[in-house]
A and B are shown apart, each in its own frame.
Chain A
Amino acid sequence: MSLFLKREDFAAITAYARKEAPLEACGLLGGEKRDRDAIVRQVIFLQNTDRSAEHFSMDPREQFAAVREFRSHGWQMLGNFHSHPATPARPSEEDKRLAFDPSLRYLILSLQAEQPVLRAFCIEAGKVSEEEILITEKSVLS
């Protein structure tokens, strides 16, 4: 079970998180599921309505708009991401408690070190399992 993410999308997520830092940044991932793999086709950046360095909340109106955008391409919401500007890329207890949809991937980007670290997790009833992220060149996913 892997999540495929284009290199340019990884770069865009990192750039957005750095721009928003020290606040946490967030967004949604849309794309396709093939067997047990998820292929990210689009990343949509959302506002962190908490405007906080330690918390994030997404605006439901922006979430609905993003889901419609994904659906207009025949895609589905695959998951979300948020950044940890100064802590490791692992879900906090609050992250786990508020992960309500076990069908989604929850990505966390850490900016703690010089090189960004992006990890993906499946969270069900507070139980966390990590999923491999494969950073790919665009042509691989056509």
Chain B
Amino acid sequence: MFITVNGEAVSLREELSLKELVAFLHLEQPDYVTLLLNDRLVYPSEHGTTIVKDGDTVEYLYYMGGGQP
């Protein structure tokens, strides 16, 4: 199956949860990754139960922020 991740086609052998997809993509610091599935913002509490299916579009980005310690 094929999905689109940040505008690029990605081939998967089977459906994955978003949490599994983050691991598959080797994204570091997954707690700081924000995910959009088919234009819907998916909250971290749903990452383990939200399944990515053939043809889905996933967007991700890292939290961006900073400040004085």
Contact = CB atoms under 8 A, between A and B. Distances in A.
Q: Contact residue range for chain A?
A: 20 to 34
A43 to B, nearest CB: 15
Interface residues of B, number: 18
Interface stretch (B12-20, B45-53, B57-65): B57-65
Interface stretch (A14-22, A85-93, A112-120, A133-141): A85-93
Given A61-B41, A64-B36, A71-B7, A56 B65 contact: yes
A57 B36 CA distance: 18
Chain A binding surface SS class: mixed
Interface in B1-47: 6-7, 28-29, 32, 34, 36, 41
Given A60-B61, A61-B41, A64-B59, A55 B29 contact: no
Contact of A80 (B28, B32, B36, B64): B64
Given A60-B34, A60-B41, 4 more contacts: A55-B66, A63-B61, A80-B64, A94-B68
Give 4 nearest A-B pairs by CB, closest first.
Answer: A55-B67, A95-B66, A57-B65, A100-B62
Interface of B: 6-7, 28-29, 32, 34, 36, 41, 59, 61-69
Interface of A: 24, 26, 50, 52, 54-58, 60-61, 63-64, 67, 71, 80, 82, 87, 91-95, 98-101
